[in-house]
Amino acid sequence: MSSIKIELRQEDIEKIREICGSFGKDPQELINVLHKCQEHFGYLPAEVQEVVSNELDVPVAKIYGVVTFYSFFTMTPKGRHPISICMGTACYVRGAEKVLDEFKKELGLQVGQTSKDGKFSLSSLRCVGACGLAPVVLVGDKTYGRVAPDDVRNILKEYE
Amino acid sequence: METIKLTIDNRAVEVPRGTTINKAARLLGIEIPVLCYMELKDMNIENKPAGCRICVVEVDGRRNLAPSCATNCEEGMVVRTHTTRVLNARRTVMEFILSDHPKDCLICAKSGTCELQSMAHKLGIREIPGQEIAAMSTYRLDTSPSIIRDLDKCIMCRRCEMMCNEIQTVGALSAVNRGFMSAVAPAFEQNLEHSTCTYCGQCVAVCPTGALTEVDHTPDVLRALADPSKTVIVQTAPAVRAALGEEFGMEPGTLVTGKMVSALRSLGFDYVFDTDFAADLTIMEEGTELLDRLNRHLSGDKTARLPILTSCCPGWVNFFEYYFPDLKDVPSTAKSPQQMFGAIANTYFADKIGVNRKDLVVVSIMPCLAKKYECQRGEFSTDNNPDVDFSISTRELAAFIKQANIDLNNLEDDDFDSPLGESTGAGVIFGTTGGVIEAAVRTAYELQTGKKLERLDFNELRGLEGVREATIDFDGLPIRIGIAHGLGNARKLLDDVRSGKSQFHAIEVMACPGGCIGGGGQPLHHGNSEIIKARVAAIYAEDKKKPLRKSHENPFIIKLYEEFLGSPNSEKAHHLLHTHYFERKKKIVVKH
Ligand code: SF4
Ligand code: SF4
Ligand code: SF4
Ligand code: FES
């Protein structure tokens, strides 16, 4: 019957408190608070949700409910080289899905997953506004345009 | 009040503004089926997610069918509740729900009382198109000390979420995920055991399907009864006798005390005792504690904390351990009647009949699921031998009686055994909200003033209002009393205690709306609050019938103190009948 413990680094706790504070600790601002937390940490691990729950006085089950309902929230850390494939209309009609399938096959990952060694993670995006270059793939900050399934292997090679 | 005229199935009806189509139809005797919707009238409990769409109706001039449970009547509306379009839509909704639902009704714990099953029957569903193609979503089975969650059977009505969040303000459950994988679950889809669940069982009490059920301990009880080396004794909580009959087709509010005793005897229990006896004992201990704190407080002792909070409800104890651990010295230290009974049975009574506690099996019949957890708490056992071995619910007892081919309806009345079966009316009213404090007042008044109480019915303490308060005149000394049932209501009073605003001397809290008569282990009310009210009336009727109605007048309690305990709050009484509480709040720890 011990109490439940949540472990987190001091600076992380303070960062979450700061974010919650900047929204006046208002439970109505939960989604915005989570956005900011995800921006900072890259993802929303259970510990972060627990601290947000404490700060905003919202049950952690509710927070987890929100995190799992919206696809833009994730509980898995991004890889060192996060790969995002644009699924906007232009990219889609020019074969983005085939490109995505190729990445899935090469990496053995599903969308939303991170490779075991933490190197790559895979996600899809709504239109990034580079439709002229469709289909578009982002790896970290770098943009690749007019990507065909055959290019996938070469792109990955750059990060070996 | 502004009223609205409309017609439903060509019949005119006039209703106050704000009435839903569904309720208006009910006034005409038209029962539009509902599934996710649930209301406990007069108890401020309503689930209205407008999610399932089983209740749709056609409204002239509207393109889409309207969910009747969530659409308000409007002037001149023309509503049709059984057109071909409506019936087809209802069937489609049902087929859709069933396509992702297991078909093992035959062996489901809710079979016979499941609202989904009866809806499928009512709508005459005979086949489920598309079920061969659709892969059914499956979830991990979660078993906690009190509750089993089998979310394969969840239909996302969200009644449990409403109970846990809005009524109980526990927030252990929330809707998670989306699409077919959506479910109601604790944070991170962990087991209930790792959440802040209080085991009040209110989610189980409202779940229409077999998704939420109690952990069944009847096989353990059966095994103990079959073991000749064991002496098996049973205690029955007050609320059970006011509800058990419902499971055998009797009118809600039928008291079956005598028949229940007969049934338990036929099942083979060696002694049939009454938790009401332990409730009387609780009053002696809790009442004495109250007077002690009160008198110390009146004489200026700053260490005497008031108000005192009742501690007989384990759901409530779990709640304050999680949410108000800073106030853990405010509640009475008295154990619950279930555990007081267990402690006395394993000492005083075991000695009396010369049985070693290892060979004594104590079973409790409870309206409650939190009691299953409570009797497993480490502090309630000696050398790994629990004071109460198994706790089964009213529903489990009913099933057990049926399995044993016992026809409750045709049993003769029988009496509880002595001495742990003797009780007063004060013990009986523990079963309803306000009852514990009324019982305490009856005893505390006489002990404090030395005068005889003229009036035993304290109507000012009764009722179903969520938070109630009353001042009782203790011969010139006004005693202020607060009552809350439902944990959300309790939270309001607790917040005041925490901030120092509370003016009460004593507060009674019951976790379940209505008190134990509305407990998580009772026959299902299916959203009919009249059932709960009838049980309350039955409890007060039983109290009225009792020759003795004050705990301190129970001759067997007096004898227990003379022969064994000494006096209330004596060292021995403290050792056996009192407990301590734990801090269970989540702690955020800095990682280095
Ligand atoms: S038992 Fe009570 S506290 Fe636990 S999940 Fe159910 S409603 Fe919530
Ligand atoms: S668990 Fe039961 S009460 Fe809760 S949403 Fe599912 S079916 Fe409804
Ligand atoms: S009110 Fe009664 S049934 Fe409900 S949790 Fe408390 S003791 Fe159990
Ligand atoms: S009962 Fe009306 S939408 Fe479910």
DSSP B13-47: EEEETT-BHHHHHHHTT-----SS-EEETTTTEEE
Q: In chain B, whose CA is at the least distance from the CA of A7? A: B589
Pocket lining: B119 vs ligand 4, CB cutoff 6 Å? no
Residue found by looking up tokens 């009460």 in the block? B504
DSSP string, B202-213: HHHHH-SSTTEE
Residue found by looking up tokens 């104590």 in the block? B362
What pLDDT score does B28 carry? Answer: 97
**Among B160, B189, B588, the residue to mutate for chain A (most A Cβ within 10 A):** B588
Do B441 and B534 fall into the same domain? yes
Do B534 and B453 fall into the same domain? yes
Cβ pair B418, B348 in contact under 8 A: no
For residue A32, what are the contacts with CB-CB under 8 A and spacing of at least 6?
A23
Q: Ligand 2 atom 3: the closest Cα is on which residue?
A: B207
**Among A62, A67, A74, the residue to mutate for chain B (most B Cβ within 10 A):** A62
Please report residues of B whose CB lies closer than 8 A to that of A64.
Answer: 174, 176, 187-189
CB pairs under 8 A between A and B: 81
Q: How far apart are CA B372 and CA B364, in angstroms?
A: 9
> What is the B204 CA–ligand 3 centroid distance (Å)?
13
Category of B518 on φ-ψ map: left (φ > 0), alpha (ψ -120 to 50) or beta: alpha
Q: Hey, what long-range contacts does A16-23 have (CB within 8 A, 24 or more apart)?
A: A16/A48, A16/A51, A16/A52, A16/A55, A17/A51, A17/A55, A20/A52, A20/A55, A20/A56, A21/A55
Do B522 and B436 fall into the same domain? yes
Do B122 and B77 fall into the same domain? no
Q: Rounded to a whole number, what is the distance in Å from the CA of B562 to chain A's nearest CA?
A: 36
What b/e string do you get for B454-471 counting C-beta neighbours within 10 Å, with b at 16 or more?
A: eeeebeebbebbbebbbe
Number of domains in chain B: 3
Report yes or no on B109 lying in a domain: no
Give the closest residue to B431 by CA, choosing from B539, B329, B529.
B539
User: Residue B40 is part of which domain span?
Assistant: 3-82
Beta-carbon neighbour count of residue B394 at 10 Å?
27
Q: How far apart are CA A56 and CA B265, in angstroms?
A: 54
Cβ separation of A8 and B172 shorter than 8 Å?
Answer: no
> What is the B33 CA–ligand 4 centroid distance (Å)?
8
- CA B173 to ligand 2: nearest atom: 4
Check pLDDT > 50 for residue B27: yes
Catalytic residue among B52, B203, B312, B512: B312
Mean pLDDT over B560-580 rounds to: 97
Q: Which of B82, B99, B130 is the last residue of a domain?
A: B82
Judged by average pLDDT, the poorest of A88-97, B369-378, B387-396 is A88-97
Do B41 and B146 fall into the same domain? no
Report yes or no on B37 lying in a domain: yes
Give the closest residue to B278 by CA, choosing from B360, B204, B214, B364.
B364
Q: Which residues surround ligand 1 with Cβ inside 6 Å?
A: B 147, 163-164, 168, 170, 172-173, 197-203
- CA B521 to ligand 3: nearest atom: 3
Q: What element of type H or E holds B423? A: none
Please report residues of A whose CB lies closer than 8 A to that of B186.
Answer: 61
Report yes or no on B467 lying in a domain: yes
Instruction: Return the CA Rg of chain B.
Output: 25
Half-sphere exposure in the Cβ direction for A62 (13 Å, CA): 19
Give the closest residue to A10 by CA, choosing from B327, B592, B349, B521.
B592
pLDDT in tens, B497-529: 999 999 999 999 999 999 999 999 999 999 999
Tokens of residue B121, six digits: 């029957």
Is the minimum CB–CB distance between B583 and chain A shorter than 8 Å? Answer: yes
Do B305 and B440 fall into the same domain? yes
Mean pLDDT over B260-264 rounds to: 98
What is chain B's mean pLDDT, rounded?
95
Please report residues of B whose CB lies closer than 8 A to that of A57.
Answer: none
Report yes or no on B417 lying in a domain: no
Q: Which of B191, B214, B237 is the last residue of a domain?
A: B214
Q: Which of residues 368-397 of B touch A (CB under 8 A)?
A: 377-378
DSSP string, B442-471: HHHHHHHH-S--S----GGG-S--SEEEEE
Do B180 and B319 fall into the same domain? no
Mean pLDDT over B25-54 rounds to: 95
Report yes or no on B123 lying in a domain: yes
Q: How far apart are CA B155 and CA B114, in angstroms?
A: 12
Query: Is B286 annotated as catalytic?
Result: yes
Q: How far apart are CA A130 and CA B248, in angstroms?
A: 71
Rounded to 5 degrees, φ, ψ at B590 are: -80, 130
Do B69 and B169 fall into the same domain? no
Q: Ligand 2 atom 6: the closest Cα is on which residue?
A: B154
Calculate the alpha carbon distances from B540 to B338, B510, B574 in Å. 21, 17, 31
Tokens of residue B70, six digits: 């969530």
Residue found by looking up tokens 């007081």 in the block? B340
Judged by average pLDDT, the poorest of B153-162, B173-182, B487-496, B563-572 is B173-182
Question: Which residue out of B53, B57, B116, B526 has the highest number of ligand 4 atoms within 8 Å of its CB and is therefore the one to mutate?
Answer: B53
Report yes or no on B367 lying in a domain: no
What pLDDT score does A4 carry? Answer: 61
| Eight-state DSSP code of residue B327 | G
For residue B122, what are the contacts with CB-CB under 8 A and spacing of at least 6?
B33
| H-assigned helices in B377-424 | 394-403
For residue B163, what are the contacts with CB-CB under 8 A and spacing of at least 6?
B45, B47, B202, B203, B205, B206
Q: Which of B198, B214, B230 is the last residue of a domain?
A: B214
Pocket lining: B32 vs ligand 4, CB cutoff 6 Å? no
Do B19 and B142 fall into the same domain? no
Q: What element of type H or E holds B48? A: none
- CA B37 to ligand 4: nearest atom: 1
Q: What element of type H or E holds B356? A: none
Pocket lining: B255 vs ligand 3, CB cutoff 6 Å? no
Cβ pair A124, A111 in contact under 8 A: yes
Q: For chain A, list residues with pLDDT below 50.
A: 1-2
Burial label for A74, CB within 10 Å (0-12, 13-18, 19+), is: buried
What pLDDT score does B120 carry? Answer: 95
- CA B153 to ligand 2: nearest atom: 7
> What is the A10 CA–ligand 3 centroid distance (Å)?
40
Query: Is B446 annotated as catalytic?
Result: no
E-strand stretches of B17-172: 38-40, 45-47, 56-59, 66-67, 78-80, 142-143, 147-149
Query: Is B335 annotated as catalytic?
Result: no
Report yes or no on B106 lying in a domain: no
What pLDDT score does B135 carry? Answer: 62
Q: Rounded to a whole number, what is the distance in Å from the CA of B85 to chain A's nearest CA?
A: 32
Q: Rounded to a whole number, what is the distance in Å from the CA of A160 to chain B's nearest CA?
A: 33
Do B76 and B148 fall into the same domain? no
Do B62 and B164 fall into the same domain? no
Cβ separation of A8 and B591 shorter than 8 Å?
Answer: yes
Do B432 and B555 fall into the same domain? yes
Checking DSSP bridges between strand A137-139 and strand A81-86, what pairing results, if any?
Answer: antiparallel
Domain with residue B203: its CATH number is 3.30.70.20
What pLDDT score does B395 carry? Answer: 98
Domain with residue B527: its CATH number is 3.40.950.10
pLDDT in tens, B206-254: 999 999 999 999 999 999 999 999 999 999 999 999 999 999 999 999 9
Beta-carbon neighbour count of residue B214 at 10 Å?
23
